[in-house]
Amino acid sequence: MVCLDTAFLADLFRKNPAAEKKLKEFVEAEEEISITVMTIAELYYGAFKSNRVEDEKAKVEQIKRKFVILEMNENGAQKFGELLSKLEKTGQKISDRDVLIAAIAISKGENAIVTRNEKDFARISELSVITY
């Protein structure tokens, strides 16, 4: 199972050929694909900022129907605190949103994240980063 980051989904919305090709590879390999509830929040944020709110919200709704949604729970909250603390102690702070996505994914047993944001997610040793 792989977890899709917000940047990957945004690239799919923009019809990025590399992102579309990567998704096709996962589908053909019958890979189980997930997203986090934090990713959904970020997609809604983008939708409400856009000039085409209803169209963008419809895209988010479509995404929600296509992939397994990983919810935040107490294990994810603990993992968030652990990851953020480790990153701060080593001077490798990344955005709290990315730490939340990573924490949720890891707490649900995910070990791979699909993103173009390799630099930040690579700082989280418990995740392998798949780029495109």
As a whole number of angstroms, the distance between CA 129 and CA 120 comes to 10
pLDDT band at 1 (very low <50, low <70, confident <90, very high): confident
- Both tokens of 27, joined, read 């589908």
- What percentage of residues in the chain have a pLDDT greater than 70? 100
d(C-alpha 73, C-alpha 18), whole Å: 33
Q: Domain ranges for the chain, please list them.
A: 2-130
Which two three-digit tokens encode residue 118?
């390799």
Is pLDDT at 127 greater than 90 in this prediction? yes
The pTM of this model reads 0.92
CATH 3.40.50.1010 fits 2-130, yes or no: yes
pLDDT in tens, 44-81: 999 999 999 999 999 999 999 999 999 999 999 999 99
What value does the mean pLDDT of the chain take? 96
Residue 10 reports pLDDT greater than 90: yes
Under the banding of pLDDT at 50, 70 and 90, the label for residue 30 is very high
What confidence score (pLDDT) does residue 65 get? 95
HSE, side-chain direction, 13 A CA sphere, residue 91: 0
pLDDT over 90 (residue 105): yes
